[in-house]
Amino acid sequence: MGAGTHEWHPSAAYLYVLTLDGPGLAWEYLRRNPDYRADYGLLMDGSDDEADHAARWGLRLLEDPARDARHAQPAWLPDPDGLPQLHPDAAAVADAPVFALWRMPGRKQLAHDGKRLLLTAYRPEGALRAAFSPALEHGTAYAYGLMAGARLRERWRAATDTMERLNGYYGRDAALPGAHAHAHGRPDRIALLHMRSLQTLDGLGAGATQREIAQALFGAEAVAERWHDLGEMRAQVRRLARRGRALVDGGYRRLLQTESPRDGRSG
C-alpha cells in the first residue's frame, strides 16, 4: 500500500496539501514511490548502506516515508531553490540582526544533514525553511548564503521571502513586505490539482475504481449525474492519475526549483 492509502476517502485528510510549498509537495510524491519505500525498508532492516541510496532520490539522507510533509524533514540534494544558508557574519554592523531561533514563531523542527542544521518552522501560512552552520550561535549576527551556479538568480528570488521574514522575526526589518504572515484566500488551481492528484494516487494504491475515486473527489451526487465511461469526469480522474504517477516517478524534482521568468509555467 502507498502512503496514506488506508484513509484516502475523506478529502479533508488532504487539506494540508493546499498550504505546502515546493519541497513539501516534492516529498509527498516521493514518499509514495514504491521503490523509495523499498530502499527505506532495506535501511531499516540493516541490509544496506544509506549512502548508497539517498543520492539516487535527490536526498542527503533517507527520510521515513510514513511521515507526511507536516512532520518529515527531508534533506534534499542539491538544496531547493528557496533555502537560504545562514552563517556567522564576521563583519556585521552594530545594529545587525542576530540569530535567535526561539523568537521565530511556529512549530519548529531541526535536523542534521551530516554537515548543517536544517530548520523548518511550520506556520499557518506555510513553512519557513533555512539551513545554518553549526558555528552559528544564539545571539550572534548572521549572513545569508546561496548555492552558486547557473540558477543563482532563481535561488535568490525564491529565498527572498524567507530572508525578509527572518529579518522581521529578529527585529531589524519588521516592516519589510513578507516579514509577517500572508493572508490566504481560496486555494489556487495548482494547489487543488496537487491535492486531488495525491488523493487519486492513494485511492488507486488501495485498489479503488476510477468511479470510487471520482465519488471521493467530486461527491456521489455529481458522479451519479455526470459519470460516463467516455465522459469528462472519468477522463479527469485518468489525467490526475497520470500526472501523479509522473511526479512520483521523478517529476517531483521539478517542484524543488523555481521557474525562471523566461521558462513560463512548467507542465
25 pLDDT band (50/70/90 cuts)?
very high
Q: How many CA atoms lie within 13 A of 105 on its CB side?
A: 11
Residue 76, Cβ neighbours under 10 Å: how many? 21
User: In angstroms, rounded to a whole number, what is the distance separating the alpha carbons of residues 82 and 129?
Assistant: 8
Q: Tens digit of pLDDT for each residue in 172-184?
A: 443 333 333 344 4
Kindly report the pTM of this predicted structure: 0.84
Q: Which of 18-22, 58-62, 112-116, 245-249 has the lowest mean pLDDT?
A: 112-116
Closest to 166 in 3D by CA, of 220, 200, 119 = 119
Reduce the DSSP state of residue 117 to 3 states and report it: strand
Reduce the DSSP state of residue 49 to 3 states and report it: coil
Predicted confidence (pLDDT) at residue 66 exceeds the cutoff of 50 = yes
Q: Which of 3-7, 20-24, 42-46, 146-150 has the lowest mean pLDDT?
A: 3-7
Q: At 173, give phi and psi (nearest 5°).
A: -125, 55
User: In angstroms, rounded to a whole number, what is the distance separating the alpha carbons of residues 66 and 73?
Assistant: 12
Residue 95 amino acid letter: D
Q: Tens digit of pLDDT for each residue in 118-156?
A: 999 888 777 889 999 989 998 899 998 888 888 888 888
> Residue 153: what pLDDT?
86
Sorted by sequence, the CB contacts under 8 Å of residue 219 that are 6+ apart come out as none
User: In angstroms, rounded to a whole number, what is the distance separating the alpha carbons of residues 181 and 177?
Assistant: 10
Query: In the predicted model, what is the mean pLDDT of residues 225-253?
Result: 95
